[in-house]
Structure 1
Amino acid sequence: MAAVIRLGFVCRRGFKSLLHHSTLLARPAVVPHKCQEQLYLPTAKIHASQALHAGSGSNTASLHWTAERTLSVLLLAMGPVAYFNPGPVMDYSLAAALTLHGHWGLGEVLTDYVHGDTKVKLAKAGLFLLSTITFSGLCYFNYNDVGICKAIALLWSK
């Protein structure tokens, strides 16, 4: 079906798909070379980023995606465990997991919305600074105050 929609777009017949520039759709084999260059030039500019090419030839992106999903599921499991078994180990585990989850999430937002080499470098430096301050603040709170688990329990008790 995707090849039919793509061929309809290339031949200027039929309906145009809203996803005609998606990299998920395969290139049709019958399109002349001249038409392919014109169609895929904007797509190459949009989707070419340093993050995608950093681990080219390997499964780095797949491993990162798996790690993000694993951490998300782990955070879901940490809630009940923190409720029934509060303590310093759980407090510091929550601090690390929440900081990493936020860092990866904001990193994806930066990848999507910040363009230009200088702006990307400044945004990434700011994100690392924010993540470092967040983790340090949570560790400070765990060490010098009641900790994350007890603080949430105190919020719920009122």
Structure 2
Amino acid sequence: MASLLRLSVLCGAQGGRALCLRIPVVRPAYVSGFLQDQPAPGRCGARHIHLSPSRHAGSRAASLHWTGERVVSVLLLGLVPAAYLSPSSAMDYSLAAALTLHSHWGLGQVVTDYVHGDALQKTAKVGVLALSALTFAGLCYFNYHDVGICRAVAMLWQL
């Protein structure tokens, strides 16, 4: 494993500057997706690195999904300050949709990474979908029947 990672630390003060640190460099060109280390002499057992299986590797749908996640994240970076500067009903519903979608994709990735077994993973994904639907419905209800997300945050900040 030491041949895969090269960590070099450059320490020194040049002209009063702070220390510089280089990050680990990984050369994964020849590493398979499911790497198994051989047990070292004197150690019991083998260490395993398990990665999430890429069932859709190279597919257009996976690429579009990845791009969509990044677009929603960047959209949220602009939407939050805009909602603070210009609170309105449109901002409330936009925040409800973007926050719900962002959290749905994030929780879905947590399920993919940490829940093992097909039946259990499908059940967890249905649970995430139900939670996301309830979250969106609750935020829309809050926007319609109460003060809305933007005003609620402003009221919290005034406390």
Could you say whether these structures have the same fold, taking a TM-score greater than 0.5 normalized by the shorter chain as the test?
Answer: yes
Structure 2 runs not aligned, ≥5 long: 5-25, 38-48
Separation (CA, whole Å) in 1 of partners of 2:52 and 2:103: 24
Distance of aligned partners of 1:156 and 1:122 in 2 relative to their CA distance in 1, 3 Å threshold: same
Q: CA deviation at 1:97?
A: 0.3
Q: Deviations over 1:111-130 (max 9, x none)?
A: 11000011101100100010
1:27-46 pair list within 5 angstroms: 27=30, 46=50
**How far apart, CA to CA, are the structure 1 residues paired with 2:57 and 2:110?**
22
The answer to whether residue 108 in structure 2 is matched with residue 110 in structure 1 is no
Q: Report how many residues are paired.
A: 127
Q: Per-residue deviation at 1:70? A: 1.5
Alignment partner, residue 5 of structure 1: 3
Equivalent residue number for residue 87 of structure 1: 88
Kindly report the root-mean-square deviation, in angstroms, between the aligned alpha carbons of the 2 structures.
Answer: 3.0
The CA distance in 1 between the partners of 2:139 and 2:100, in whole Å, is: 9
Partner of 1:154: 155
Deviation by residue 1:37-87 (Cα, 9 ceiling, x = unmatched): x959xxxx94463xx32x455232222222112211111111111012111
CA deviation profile, 1:5-41 (whole Å, cap 9, x unmatched): 36xxxxxxxxxxxxxxx9x71228xxxxxxxxx959x
Higher relative contact order (CA 8 A, sep 6+): 1
Which TM-score applies when normalising by structure 2?
0.69
The 1-side partners of 2:82 and 2:60 are apart by 32
TM-score, normalised by the number of residues in structure 1: 0.69
Which structure: greater strand fraction? Answer: 2
User: Once the two structures are aligned, what percentage of the paired residues are identical?
Assistant: 56
1:9 is matched with none
- Point out the structure with the larger helix share: 1
